[in-house]
Structure 1
């Protein structure tokens, strides 16, 4: 009985047969269906074999039928029992399932032994064949059919199984090719998006830096205006540098490219950032308490990003409000908090992407920390991160 059925078989309304072949009741059902004719022949023709005893033939036929349940795991003992059934009962049907199973499992030598022994027995004992029909020649042809048909069926079942495996393998390869095509298309879309960001945002930032630099060198500009323009120019250069890193990281790598390492910031890099926000009109107070052993670079990089995001949110939503930054390192943890006051009345918030806090929260969570946001006293806003710091 074949364990795998072709799509054509399922299409002919044989779903029940395919389900049976895949169930654990396959072998017991086969043993029952196979045992009925074996027992009937043993009872009807007890003189056909070399042991003319109805009881012996019946018991051996029952043993062959019951052993069919374990035929796949114990094929050698099952084949020996089937050959014994042929010799004792004289019925070649005792080896049909053994021949079929041997061919299915690709055990050609065992299948050949079963066929040869059965045919030799049929040729060597014509008196046993004569018990089945008046003409031994006809029964000899029937014996050949009984022995060779299971071999052919086993070969067809094995071929069908191989075709099913090849079809499944081909489908898996097609799925991999389709996945590769989709991944390649996604990479092309990402690279196209990176180019658009570079061409659009990069040019606008460059234009902003040029305009700010032109104002900063004008003789009729006041010193405060020149200072603001220098701040804008420095911020624009930092933005261009960050954009260059993003383009490098997002670009589709070549076969020989080495993935670039992302830049990591330290707590010392916060000084110019805080200075720019102070020059932009934000009163910023900073309180830092770090142990003698500074936090690892990963924690410092996350702390830099938390402070930068907090200052950016304050500049967009509460322009001119006071900002308080607190960085405190304890045993195994670093707390980074950014608090800003309420926005001034009548001020419109500046637009943003809306993804900064979400991305930052995910990055902090990936590092094993937590990021919380909450309203501050008097209408302000509080951004606080707790970052794990490995003990030295």
Structure 2
């Protein structure tokens, strides 16, 4: 067995593994390997010169706790059936995590098929969405003074403006630029989806959706004001002769539920979406700006079975709004695994919840310090590959 980064000549073999393991149609697969796939961001397992397993590290920039970080989004983790059960996933994930550390990336994200597969590698649940299931007839009462037009690449700057306005208070989101939206148009087209812009006096909302038989799936419904939201809900209702239901995914702080005439007829559920992981704990914590000047410190023992540089006892000190970390053989105040630390670092949980989830007796001083450096926030991300 050999683990390495892919070469240009490996692409067809990696596509064969992708096609076997995932139910994507040929249009999406062509889109992905023509636009997203990069051999230098792909890791493979080679067995007797045959590639039998692979994953991709798609590159994004995310804004987490008011700072921007280059991050790898782990996708396409796949193994041919004849090579399964041999422990290749453990080896490829071990290799991947340590390569990310060498590349000086501080955090990573991953959308799991099964959370149990990735928790053992230190990834933990850090992002949720709300999913609405609505009978389209229930949207018939909305009216709007605006109109909707089919979007194209000329609307990208308007879409960036809408997205920034809609997500400005949310944590952990991807930084989207013109190249991102150029690629997004290709992705949505490859899946036979649609993008429309809502316009009133200005462009103040957009919707990305797919029609699947009797159902509409709305992937994004971003808006600057309630008029734009109501106009796009009315737009969905105008499909009532061809579709019966609509599923809409949205951030936890979305206002759709407040606009519905009868929320009791709507099925709303929390949808776990994305996992996160700290790759370099020391550099990540030292990159933060902390709202607090009181000199204080705690000592935490971290258990990380895959990145040895994190698997230490750290004295974490706060002074002049910055953290410093020193490792050593200290008597520690609390011990957490990297999963809990990742949830704290992504601001998904607070210190008290970290103690509760680990069934620990509360230490008020340690919890106070943790809550100072890990402020719980609403996280949101909506990238699929």
Instruction: Give the TM-score category using the shorter length.
Output: under 0.3
Computing the radius of gyration from Cα coordinates, the structure with the larger value is 1
Q: Which has the higher contact order (CA 8 A, sep 6+)?
A: 2
Normalising by structure 2, we get a TM-score of 0.20
The structure carrying a bigger strand percent of its residues is: 2
The structure carrying a bigger helix percent of its residues is: 1
